[in-house]
Amino acid sequence: MILKEYKYELGKIERGYNNRSLYINLSDNTIKEKEVTQFMKDKFIGGKGFGLWYLWNAVTPETKWNDPENEIVIAHGPIAGITQYPGSGKSLVVTLSPLTHMPMDSNVGGYFGPYLKFSGFDALELQGKAEKDVIIFIDGNKGIVQIMESDIEEKDSHLIAEILTERFAKDEEDKKNVSVVSTGSAADHTLVGLLNFSFYDIRRKAVRLKQAGRGGIGTVFRDKKIKALVVRFEGTKGNLNNAADQGKINRTGIKLHREICLLDDKQNRMRKIGTANIIEIMDQYDLLPTHNYKFGSHKDTYKISSDKFQARVTQGLPDGCWYGCSLSCAKAADDFIPQTGPYKGQKVIVDGPEYENAAGLGSNIGVFDRDGVLELNFYCDTYGVDTISFGTLTAFIMECYENGILDKEKTGGLELYFGNKEAALELLHQMARGEGFGKIAGLGIRRMKEIFIKEYGADPDFVNDIGMEQKGLEFSEYLCKESLAQQGGYGLTNKGPQHDEAWLIFMDMVNNQIPTFEDKAEALHYFPMFRTWFGLMGLCKLPWNDIVPENNKYTDEPAKIPEHVQNYVDLYNGITGKNIDKHELIRQSERVYNFQRIFNIRMGYGKRIHDKIPYRAMGPVTEEEYLSRQERYDKQLKELLGLDPENMTTQEKMAALRKYREEQYEKLTDAVYARRGWTKDGVPTIEKLKELGMDIPELIEVVKKHL
């Protein structure tokens, strides 16, 4: 049953912009178009910038994630939808997160973003709450938007996406023109729900899913009673953006295709195995999170190494999540047969595993079992559970279980010790059913800590030290104890400890390229700003540095990949006809980055106190951890602090190391805030906002209360 239909004039994209967006309110079924103004394009560029701006205007400091005025905004960006440069089909999803209560942003592949753009819109705002489950359909060729009552009984994404692709495609040939956004049953019962964005895999003849994983966006989606979003657009070509200089874009793309063709096999093997290529490398450098980030390697890592996954990835050919992605990190294991749960015994496709999943669902919870990781991966995706949050919160639960904070009685019979694959799977099934201990686990680490302390009498110091969350968001899967810069890369972020802002472990710890506080601060300024830019444009980060030109190491700044930075400058100028340089690129990001920081402050967070990280991220919490790296830690006490470890107990040594490392983090924080133009409390200064042209009255009003 159609609840509301809206017809719109089809338009033409001009130099990367439609100059309008689509607004839908599900409380009263309003559908309308909004103008994308020059102000928005100048200050916020697109993608996550537009998402944050619309959200800012939709909410107040009192708005909670489950209030009707909270929005989910999906936006791509001016470069998105080109088919010539790898990684150019990304959507950025923004909402107030149920985990952090602040704006969350997540970058996701699949065809929805480009098709939304080709259908005529630079962003889609979803506000309000429906009474009953609804499906929203955008027909990008006919110019029709419909809100319809959902008749779909299936609750999980791999089925919902398949059914709706079948329904809205005219025939088999047309399926590639349909993209579905949905989530699964666990998004109804947990705060870690994700969104699956589909694309149709024409070689497999199957629907594939990519995830907007972080921060509980799927939970908000279900709270609004949205079953699915569907877009259909027929007629994709390589020039629909009407670029100012299409030839420039084509040539820039072909240059990178060639580079990938010649060098990927020698570099990261993204086409062969994808991001999972680094599992064994992380283990080798003692960086693979193991047993809730206690350790950085394990004797059984070989059981989940990339070659084990490669053997299971059954496709013969690499595939991307948008046309023209020759880096092709998307992987799938066909004909996988789950051993548990509602889809037990059925043949399914498992997308991935990506590195984060192999680490989070593998080593971090002690499951050194390839098919176990794949099964957890499949269920997380289809149930709509963020694999990173699931891995990290399950690791936390397992450490609590092994320390007696939890027991079988409290978990309803689940023996959640490290390595218990069956218990981890059952925990996940409980999340999907909204039952038992799964419901508690689905609240995330921050809320579990409160429950364990208040109700189970857990030692607050211990659970706060080992609970790997910050700002309410679970850490992603890198061990950063031995890299101060990466601690900052996780801690001094806008949305929480996710490595998409800065991944500095190798630069810092392995290659020692940023030894001083100033060096680290510069890196923690430049890289978060540079990486923010991908989210403004609708781009993927991987083609920036997961492939590098052959001569990159001889350039002045190899870590920045100068030639690829220039590619991005050329793409932006090629699309828009503007003439920015690599410095203006950073300023574009700085405007949005500072805006997001101020948004956090407006919501009651975003200050120095919120940038602190749990000690597990900085050093050894337990004797077991200290002793596992005693040589390294003793050496540091001797060399850095002039102490004599021979005459100290382990407890004394741990205390001295902790004091030192916590001070280091504070010093780093000072240096980074200064470099970013913030006060010691982490508040952007008015001078900084003026310098960026972001001294708009409503921002000044927020910051001046905190200066």
Determine, following the binding rule CB under 8 A, whether residue 91 of this chain makes contact with another protein: no
Within a 10 A sphere around the Cβ of 435, how many other Cβ atoms?
Answer: 12
Closer residue to another protein in complex, CB, 247/457: 247
Q: Phi and psi (nearest 5°) for 614? A: -65, 150
Q: Of residues 51, 320, 341, 372, which one binds another protein by CB under 8 A? A: 320
Query: Which token pair is 344?
Result: 């037990």
Cα–Cα distance for residue pair 42/182, rounded to 1 Å: 32
Q: With H, G, I as helix, E, B as strand and everything else as coil, classify residue 571.
A: helix
Q: Are 189 and 172 in contact (CB under 8 A)?
A: no
Pairwise CA distance, residues 381 & 426, whole Å: 15
Q: Does 176 bind another protein (CB under 8 A)?
A: yes
Residue 190 in contact with another protein, rule: CB under 8 A: no
Cα gap 280→306, rounded to integer Å: 7
CB of 315 to another protein, least distance (A): 11
256 binds another protein (CB under 8 A): yes
Report the 10 Å Cβ neighbour count for 65.
Answer: 22
Q: Which stretch binds another protein (CB under 8 A): 158-166, 322-330, 534-542, 617-625?
A: 322-330
**How far is the CA of 662 from the CAs of 501, 619, 654, 656, in angstroms?**
22, 9, 12, 10
Among the residue ranges 206-214, 314-322, 410-418, 692-700, the one whose residues contact another protein (CB under 8 A): 314-322
Cα–Cα distance between 702 and 56 in angstroms, integer? 12
Asked if residues 313 and 350 have their Cβ atoms less than 8 Å apart, the reply is no
Lookup result for tokens 């060399």: 639
Report if residue 110 touches another protein, rule: CB under 8 A. no
Shortest reach from residue 567's CB to another protein, in Å: 13
Q: CB 252: neighbour CB atoms within 10 A?
A: 21
Closer by beta carbon to another protein, 89 or else 213: 89
Q: Dihedral, CA atoms, 55, 59, 62, 63, nearest 10 degrees?
A: -80
From the list 3-11, 118-126, 255-263, 540-548, the region that binds another protein by CB under 8 A is 255-263
- Residue 203 sits in the site that holds another protein (CB under 8 A): yes
Nearer to another protein, 246 or 513 (CB): 246
| DSSP H or E stretch at residue 477 | none
How far apart (Å, rounded) are the C-alpha atoms in residues 35 and 19? 6
Q: Which of these ranges, 16-24, 95-103, 249-257, 498-506, lies near another protein under the rule CB under 8 A?
A: 249-257
657 binds another protein (CB under 8 A): no
List the one residue out of 274, 381, 395, 402 whose CA is nearest residue 329. Answer: 274
* Backbone phi and psi for residue 422, each to the nearest 5 degrees, phi listed first: -60, -45
Contacting another protein (CB under 8 A), which of 17, 323, 572, 599? 323
246 interacts with another protein by CB under 8 A = yes
SS3 468: coil
Q: How far is the CB of 250 from another protein (least distance, A)?
A: 6
Task: Verify binding: residue 202, another protein, rule CB under 8 A.
Answer: yes
> Nearest-CA neighbor of 363 among 267, 282, 452?
282
Q: Which amino acid is at 182?
A: S
Could you say whether residue 550 binds another protein (CB under 8 A)?
A: no
317 counts as binding another protein under rule CB under 8 A: yes
Residue 236 or 555 with smaller CB distance to another protein: 236
- At 499 the three-state DSSP class reads coil
Options 250, 268, 357, 476; binder of another protein; rule CB under 8 A: 250
Q: In the bound complex, what is the minimum distance in angstroms from residue 323's beta carbon to another protein?
A: 5
What is the distance between the terminal CA atoms of the chain, rounded to a whole angstrom?
A: 54
Nearer to another protein, 132 or 258 (CB): 258
Give 140's strand partners. Answer: none
Give 272 or 447: the residue with its C-beta nearer to another protein.
Answer: 272
In angstroms, give the least distance from the CB of 118 to another protein: 11
Kindly state whether residue 156 participates in binding another protein, applying the rule CB under 8 A. Answer: no
| Residue 98 touches another protein, criterion: CB under 8 A | no
Q: Is 267 in the site for another protein (CB under 8 A)?
A: no
Question: Considering the complex, what minimum distance in angstroms separates the CB of residue 353 from another protein?
Answer: 22
Q: Indicate which single residue of 71, 162, 280, 319 sits in contact with another protein (rule: CB under 8 A).
A: 319
Taking CB under 8 A as the criterion, which residues in 58-87 touch another protein? 83-84
Radius of gyration of the chain (CA): 24
549 belongs to the binding site for another protein (CB under 8 A): no
Residue owning tokens 């790296």: 629
What is the rounded CA–CA span in Å between residue 108 and residue 197?
7
**Complex with another protein: residue 212 or 256, whichever CB lies closer:** 256
Q: Which is nearer to another protein, 180 or 327 (CB)?
A: 327
Give contact residues for another protein (rule: CB under 8 A). Answer: 83-84, 176, 202-203, 236-239, 246-247, 250-251, 253-261, 316-317, 319-320, 323-326
